[in-house]
Amino acid sequence: MIPTRQMRQAIKERPTVEKKDAHLFWRIFRGTLVIMALCASARLLAALVFETYGGRWEIAAIIQVLASFTLFASLPKRQAQPPVEGKGAARHGQLPPWSLVIYLAFLGLELNWTCAFFWFSRRYGFFSVPVVGVTGLIMIVYAGIALLVARLTGGNWRIALATFGFVLLVPPVIVLRLGLLW
């Protein structure tokens, strides 16, 4: 009897993670980082402003810095888009992930609120009408600057959003770091 040669069976590939599921993982991961960084930021603010927790602000600062750097490092790489002819060709690129936008907005609001609180020399409560009003006015001015930049750049919302993040964070950080309000 002559042995017959059998055809080899194709090796079945293992199912891989779908691209949609991978994006979902990174969204959840970035959302968790935003929550962790904002919680650490709130504790850091309470430690520095209200001098609570016995001045133990170092751990909160380390957690916030690590979560912030991890959030920025986990952002997806910007992909070049082919130019599109015709209507709608004025699109200037993708917006950054909303987790980053939300994080910067909350952090900027927190820092500006702290500056308004110190500006009144702690005469009013942290949630008083003058402190909330000045903080709201500051945020409206920053949003106006970002809208002006968007208008001047021909509707480039990416630059306008970067400008809003810059003016939202840099001035209060400089004021708080130099101690200009206390």
* Burial class of residue 66, CB neighbours in 10 A (0-12, 13-18, 19+): middle
Q: For 90-115, what is each residue's pLDDT tens digit?
A: 455 555 677 777 888 888 888 898 88
Report CA-CA distances (Å) from 90 to 87, 93, 145, 151, 160: 8, 9, 21, 13, 15
- Within a domain: 120: yes
Instruction: Look at residue 145 in the predicted model and tell me its pLDDT.
Output: 92
Higher pLDDT, 50 or 157: 157
Tell me how far apart the alpha carbons of residues 63 and 52 are, in angstroms, rounded to a whole number. Answer: 18
**C-alpha neighbours within 13 Å on the C-beta side of residue 100:** 18
Q: Look at residue 122 and tell me if it is in a domain.
A: yes
The reply to whether 102 and 151 lie within a common domain is yes
Within-domain flag for 82:
no
Domain count, the chain: 2
pTM given for the model: 0.67
> In 3D, which of 45, 182, 179 has the Cα closest to residue 122?
182
Judge if 100 and 182 occupy the same domain: yes
| Residue 39, domain member (yes or no) | yes
Span 113-168, pLDDT tens digits: 888 888 887 788 888 999 999 999 999 999 899 899 989 998 887 788 888 888 88
Which two structure tokens, joined as six digits, stand for 25? 């993982």
Query: Which pLDDT value is given to residue 89?
Result: 47
In a domain, 8, yes or no: no
> 40: domain range?
20-76
Instruction: Tell me if 40 is assigned to some domain.
Output: yes
Do 100 and 174 fall into the same domain?
Answer: yes
